Amino acid sequence: MRIAILNLTGGGVSGGYKRYLSTMLPRLAASPQISEILCASPSSFGVEKWAPATAKVKFTACEPFRFMRHAPDPGLKRALDEFRPDLIFVPIERHLRYRNVPVVTMVQNMGPLSGVKVVSGIVEKAKCLAQVFETRLALKRSAAVIAPTEYVKNFLVRNLGLPAAKVQIINYGSSSVPRNVRPPAGLAPMPGSFVFAAGSLEIYRGLEDLIKAMVPLKTAFPGLKLLLAGTARQATQPYFQELKDLSSRSGVADDVLWLGDLPDEELSWCYQNCSAFAMTSRVESFGFVALEALAHGCNCVSSDSPCLPEIFKDTALYYRPGDSEALAKSTGEILARDPEEREKYKVKAFKRAWQFSWEEAAEKTIRLFTDVSGS
């Protein structure tokens, strides 16, 4: 079976997408059912720098995705003509037609589809509407769709009318924790106690809840800090500024530390040493950082937004998104736990993380590819 993996992004790559591709590629290539893989990405993707190289995988460049362009660009078409794929896998909600080759699409971003606020400004809202159009088209015309959670599958079936048999739930896996960890560079003085959150600075992340919650929390727990890992893309810079302005108005600017993008070793240190991990998203298709927090044994608090309870289960305390008082209360309960209680939730987090397997994800994906391609 010859698989073409087409990364039809606008040129960028999120941390979750990068983790998925770098982890799944070698597992797919290791399967005796797959003879070759063609992996196409925009040059700015830089996939050859971070994806493991194997004899079965060939990398090629394609142009960044453009609205309403559903045929391969000339260079990609030549590569596909030469490769002759049995199946095309698009790990993002984009439609591409090539001859009569069946396409499997994976849903990564539920923000635009779900209706939660994900952007601001006329131009960005127009782009969001275009993304919804492209997503619907891709899902309707795919031979099969991979949903990373039950929430995503149910949404696609109920709201988009996709046949349930067309949508397969394949969870992501839990990755190993780096052995050599270190605190973020420039983090001085070292905070004695801190709440940690990670992920790109997007509107749907709801980080304003955490900043507001810090007001009562710093009173109840003197010296407490909030560490935030992640950066804002150009379109969400205004949101980033709003968050900083909110922290200033709330009197917690000195207690909120913006760490930017961190290497895995520093990110892992934050997970391992935080007093509480917080997830405030309004919606997620899966939530890689939630699984990372579990894999590090974090004591967690989360919004009850879809699909987070599906990932955390009983390992987290929950609050209603937007209710910063409830978030402060739940976070305070975690911070007040004695060592025995903290260890109890740490073990629960580890056990939950172990239930997510990359090997199982690869097996289910290969089985789906085989069924769709008829190989």
| pLDDT tens digit sequence for 20-32 | 999 999 999 999 9
* Residues 27, 169 within the same domain: yes
CATH number at residue 213: 3.40.50.2000
Identify the CA nearest to 262 among candidates 185, 166, 188. 185
d(CA 147, CA 164): 11
Beta partners for residue 39, in sequence order: 5, 59
The percent of residues in the chain predicted with pLDDT above 90, rounded, is 81
* Residues 87, 128 within the same domain: yes
111 in a structural domain: yes
For position 255, what pLDDT does the model report?
96
* Residues 139, 161 within the same domain: yes
Can you list the positions of beta strands (E) in the chain? 2-6, 36-41, 57-61, 87-90, 103-106, 144-147, 167-169, 194-198, 225-229, 256-260, 276-279, 300-303, 316-319
184 in a structural domain: no
| Tally of structural domains, the chain | 2
For position 186, what pLDDT does the model report?
78
16 in a structural domain: yes
What would the pLDDT profile of 262-319 be if each residue is shown by its tens digit?
999 999 999 999 999 999 999 999 999 999 999 999 999 999 999 999 999 999 999 9
218 in a structural domain: yes
* Residues 156, 215 within the same domain: no
For position 119, what pLDDT does the model report?
66
299 in a structural domain: yes
* Residues 285, 198 within the same domain: yes
* Residues 138, 240 within the same domain: no
178 in a structural domain: no
What would the pLDDT profile of 76-112 be if each residue is shown by its tens digit?
999 999 999 999 999 999 999 999 999 999 999 888 8
* Residues 168, 220 within the same domain: no
Determine the structural domain holding residue 333 and report its residue range.
194-354
Mean pLDDT by 10 residues, the chain (375 residues): 94 83 94 96 87 89 91 96 98 94 95 76 79 93 98 96 98 92 85 93 96 98 96 92 98 97 95 98 94 98 97 98 98 98 98 97 98 90
Beta partners for residue 28, in sequence order: none
What tokens does 109 get? 């971003």
* Residues 33, 168 within the same domain: yes
What tokens does 91 get? 């790990």
* Residues 216, 151 within the same domain: no
187 in a structural domain: no
* Residues 168, 288 within the same domain: no
CB 34 within 8 Å of CB 3: yes
Identify the CA nearest to 18 among candidates 242, 278, 250, 288. 288
* Residues 145, 219 within the same domain: no
188 in a structural domain: no
φ, ψ dihedrals at 17, nearest 5°: -65, -45
* Residues 205, 348 within the same domain: yes
